[in-house]
Chain A
Amino acid sequence: MHRGKGMKFVGDSRIPAKKMSNIPKDYSEYPGKTEAFWPNFLLKEWLVGAVFLIGFLTLTVVAPSPLEKMADPTDASYIPLPDWYFLFLYQFLKYEFASGPYSVLGAFIIPGLAFGGLLLAPFLDKGPGRRPHQRPIANAFMLIGVACTIFLTWEAGSHVDWEARAKSGQIVEEVEIDTSAAGYEIYKQNCASCHGAELGGGAGPALVGTELSVDEIKDITVNGLGSMPAVMKGKPEEEIQQLAEFVKNPSGGEEGSE
């Protein structure tokens, strides 16, 4: 840009008296088919951006963003899981040499060295050569780092029971519990410790809005299901019936009886 000696300013301002015309600068650093950024190349960038945006919006429509039920700090059975891009660190801290008495090593020293190395890469790899074979050490470190990150993320993901997580996180509609129902007391004594006092779930799944029929519920309470014990085995048939009816329709209203 034209500055300094020989520049005439208007009054006390920094604006030059002589106007420069808006012509592109000479460009000869890279031989070859250069292209003006404005407007030719920018138009192409916008086309790429538009295609990207269409794909992105399709994703947001096809896969609505997840929301689990409201935070419940007393829920001791919940297994924490960070967002996927922190999984590698989460997995790393599970290993014996990186946890317990070595947690400072696992949480700070090793990740600190890795990210510190990344931050200071230009000062560690100072040679003038840019081609991959001219800097084998830098590339080897980066490849090992990337491989470790991908491996740890994969390990963390494969140890998660995604279906159980989706179930335990599900938002359950709140129901008004009919505490005068005959089945309520039976529920409280036999089921509430796992399925929650308000049928919202806990160690066991939520029961609100269950799609099982009364007969199916009766069968499960008597015979158990999976890890659920056969809580009502040997109890009077009348109690089992009352319990199943309560679970099917805890509010005692009309809408649940269909």
Chain B
Amino acid sequence: MLQKLYDWVDERVDITPMWRDIADHEVPEHVNPAHHFSAFVYCFGGLTFFITVIQVLSGMFLTMYYVPDIENAWNSVYYLQQEVAYGQIVRGMHHWGASLVIVMIFLHTLRVFFQGAYKKPRELNWVVGVLILFVMLGLGFTGYLLPWDNKAFFATQVGLEIAQQTPFIGEEVKTLLAGDPDIVGAQTLTRFFAIHVFFLPAALFALMGAHFVMIRKQGISGPL
């Protein structure tokens, strides 16, 4: 039955080559922890992706309750934590996931660096990977403001003051992020929300797509 369904679709859109590219390949011995336990260092990238998926899913559920507005943002988070069934778990996953994803991406970066895995022909993939790290840090910075509690507000104020010191275009950068040259307020919250939920995830998905396509094209770097 399933085979028939597969054949029916395959005959029309030819999915077999795609299937081959995605799943039909061998895993070399040197990256398989079942053969060499030390190969667990190769798990960091996959775990980064796994936590990113958790972040996307938990974030989607958080937006069902969150209101990006200075009157209600804090109250909606408080309500989510106190009243909504499993709200605390979902927010907890997003909160701790945000830290863990940084830890994992850091470990993954160190693994790739110290193994020299970024050398020819994988230079571009390294550049894309570092850009993913930057996007992740951006997501961390913008997401920190959203609960609109004291630590969020004051940390963002400091962050914007640092952005303001950008040579030549400092004022413009700050206004672009905060929505106003002086006030950290309602505009800032909606802008950070838009950046956190739409702009940066879009960039992240594009970069991750490029990252994975390049891994499949180039394969895993050989053993040292």
Contacts of A131 in B (CB 8 A): 116, 224
Q: Chain B residue with minimal CB distance to A109?
A: B167
List the one stretch of A41-49, A176-184, A212-220 in contact with chain B: A41-49
Interface residues of A in 124-153 (CB under 8 A from B): 125-126, 128-132, 134-135, 138-139, 142, 146
Contacts of A38 in B (CB 8 A): 23-24
Contact A59:B116 (CB < 8 A) given known A25-B24, A68-B150, A69-B150: no
A122 touches B122 (CB 8 A): yes
Contact A36:B27 (CB < 8 A) given known A41-B32, A73-B153, A135-B116: yes
B157 touches A80 (CB 8 A): yes
Q: Is B95 an interface residue (CB 8 A)?
A: yes
Number of residues of chain A lying within 8 A (CB) of chain B: 82
Contacts of B175 in A (CB 8 A): none
Q: Chain B residue with minimal CB distance to A20?
A: B16
A104 touches B167 (CB 8 A): yes
A122 touches B14 (CB 8 A): no
Interface residues of A in 31-73 (CB under 8 A from B): 32-38, 41-42, 44-45, 48-49, 52, 56-57, 59-61, 63-73
A49 touches B116 (CB 8 A): no
Q: Is B41 an interface residue (CB 8 A)?
A: no
Contacts of B95 in A (CB 8 A): 60, 65-66
Q: Chain B residue with minimal CB distance to A134?
A: B116
B28 touches A30 (CB 8 A): yes
CA distance A126 to B119 in the complex (A): 7
- B residues sitting closer than 8 Å to A (CB atoms) are 10-14, 16-17, 19-20, 23-30, 32-35, 43, 46-47, 50-51, 54, 70, 74-75, 77-78, 81, 88-89, 91-100, 102, 109-110, 113-120, 122-123, 126-127, 130-131, 134, 137, 140-141, 144, 147-155, 157-159, 162, 165-167, 184-185, 219, 221-224
A-B contacts, 19 of them at CB < 8 A, read A1-B20, A22-B16, A24-B24, A30-B223, A33-B29, A33-B32, A36-B27, A44-B33, A48-B43, A56-B96, A65-B96, A71-B153, A81-B154, A83-B144, A115-B130, A119-B131, A122-B126, A132-B114, A142-B110
